[in-house]
Amino acid sequence: MREIVFDTETTGVNPATGDRMVEIGCVELVNRCPTGREFHAYYNPERSMPSEAEAVHGLSTIFLSDKPLFSDGCEALLDFIGDAPLIAHNAAFDFGFLNAELAHCGRDPVCLSRMICTLVLARSKHPGAKHSLDALCTRFGVDRSARVKHGALLDAQLLAQVYVELTGGRQIGLSLLAEASAAAAAGEAPVPTLRPSQRPVRPARAHAASLDELAAHAQFIAKIKEPLWASIPAS
């Protein structure tokens, strides 16, 4: 099963009032295992970057000024995500900006039936706990030391690890990885495969004590002075 974990960075919180997506990062999973394939892009939002947003992700108006428009790079993004389910943290936010950008360039929106929200999963699995990405990384032992500011690709990489833990842990990847192996055979990034054990198969051995062993045990017991069991009255 192929899935895409993604994250976006934006100029604000509401695409309906003119905020735009400026960065997207995507990580491919096959059978809940990262394949090594990723997609990352910055986009010129055709507007200035508010200082509040820049403080979150560090992307300035000057930095984004020479980046391509979303309309110029959307085909590569759509080719990468294909028809796979899309996983995001607070996914309604990221889907809202992605579909707003697609609408800007006359493309069909991504169907919301493909949306998987890790925030909803976390609230269901751990009610009452903290559910931010940082808190979930701490809960599951995911190293987030490189996360100084928000960044779409780094956050997608961290979220991919959190998503695996939220949906059963790393043992879920022991399902033969048939689809991942097919992807590797097609010339895509290599994925881990399971190797059969190389140890020789030995026949089962008898576990009952031999007569010699029983005799040796009896001799050993006879040497014990005042054994505890001798003081127990017979029933």
Q: Domains for the chain: give ranges and CATH numbers.
A: 2-185 (3.30.420.10)
Other beta carbons within 10 Å of 226:
6
* The predicted structure's pLDDT at residue 193: 45
Cα atoms in the 13 Å half-sphere on the side-chain side of 112: 7
* The predicted structure's pLDDT at residue 173: 45
Catalytic residue among 57, 89, 131, 150: 150
Instruction: Give the pairing type, strands 33-42 and 21-30.
Output: antiparallel
* The predicted structure's pLDDT at residue 182: 55
Question: Is 217 a known active-site residue?
Answer: no
* The predicted structure's pLDDT at residue 206: 66
pLDDT truncated to tens, each residue of the chain (235 aa)?
999 999 999 999 999 999 999 999 999 999 999 999 999 999 999 999 999 999 999 999 999 999 999 999 999 999 999 999 999 999 999 999 999 999 999 999 999 999 999 999 999 999 999 999 999 999 999 998 877 778 999 999 999 999 999 998 765 444 444 455 555 555 555 544 444 445 667 776 667 777 888 888 888 888 888 877 777 776 5
* The predicted structure's pLDDT at residue 175: 46
* The predicted structure's pLDDT at residue 180: 53
pTM over 0.95: no
* The predicted structure's pLDDT at residue 170: 61
* The predicted structure's pLDDT at residue 235: 57
* The predicted structure's pLDDT at residue 198: 58
* The predicted structure's pLDDT at residue 153: 95
* The predicted structure's pLDDT at residue 192: 47
* The predicted structure's pLDDT at residue 189: 52
